A and B are shown apart, each in its own frame.
Chain A
Amino acid sequence: EVQLVESGGGLVQPGRSLKLSCAASGFTFSNYYMAWVRQAPKKGLEWVATISTSGSRTYYPDSVKGRFTISRDNAKSSLYLQMNSLKSEDTATYYCARPTIAAISTPFAYWGQGTLVTVSS
């Protein structure tokens, strides 16, 4: 069974950093692109980052480019999101997501339960 379990969320002050983790199991992690998608409270979904199977290619929207870094450790079947210079508008539930099949980046067939990040002083 595919499982994605996010962790690392919490309350953080504006301008500080936070690192999220996603522990994957039930599939060969190294074969899959992975992504982060977030959802601000009572708002819609926003794609945050995607990483290729080897980690050599990463993609971001302008809203987080230069502040967020997606990475992975295939040996540990883990996905990460390093978030720097956090802003109040980064407050959201962050989901880890996996596509349907290997070697493609979408659609997102599997989602974690999410971890809440609150940016506030």
Chain B
Amino acid sequence: DIVMTQSPTSMSISVGDRVTMNCKASQNVGSNVDWYQQKTGQSPKLLIYKASNRYTGVPDRFTGSGSGTDFTFTISNMQAEDLAVYYCMQSNSYPRTFGGGTKLELK
């Protein structure tokens, strides 16, 4: 199985910060990585698919990049409503596997 390792596991941030988190795959997954946001008490929400494609309606402060084994997710201008846990998931092969998540908290 492909292991997706997210880092850091948590971040203390301020509104307006640029936030960057990483996801490393244990083997080459091409560009087949998606990013999800999950706010407390809510279902996950798709933000980025195939590494760098912003899903419909997602603000452009959210961006994704990478290919192969190393992927990055960035929030360019952190807003209070962006407080959440962010997960990467590889969709290159079965079984689909998620990273452990990166939790954003207010400093």
Contact = CB atoms under 8 A, between A and B. Distances in A.
Interface of A: 37, 44-47, 50, 59-62, 95, 100, 105-109, 111-114
A117 B1 CA distance: 26
B55 A109 contact: yes
Contacts of B1: 61-62
Contact of B49 (A59, A95, A100): A100
Contacts of A50: 94, 96
Interface residues of B, number: 23
Contacts of A62: 1, 95
Contact of A44 (B46, B50, B87, B91): B87
B89 A47 contact: yes
Interface stretch (B15-23, B71-79, B97-105): B97-105
29 contacts: A37-B44, A44-B85, A44-B99, A45-B36, A45-B38, A45-B89, A47-B95, A47-B96, A47-B98, A50-B96, A60-B95, A61-B1, A61-B96, A62-B95, A100-B49, A105-B91, A106-B34, A106-B49, A106-B91, A107-B46, A107-B50, A107-B89, A108-B34, A108-B44, A109-B46, A109-B55, A111-B44, A111-B45, A114-B43
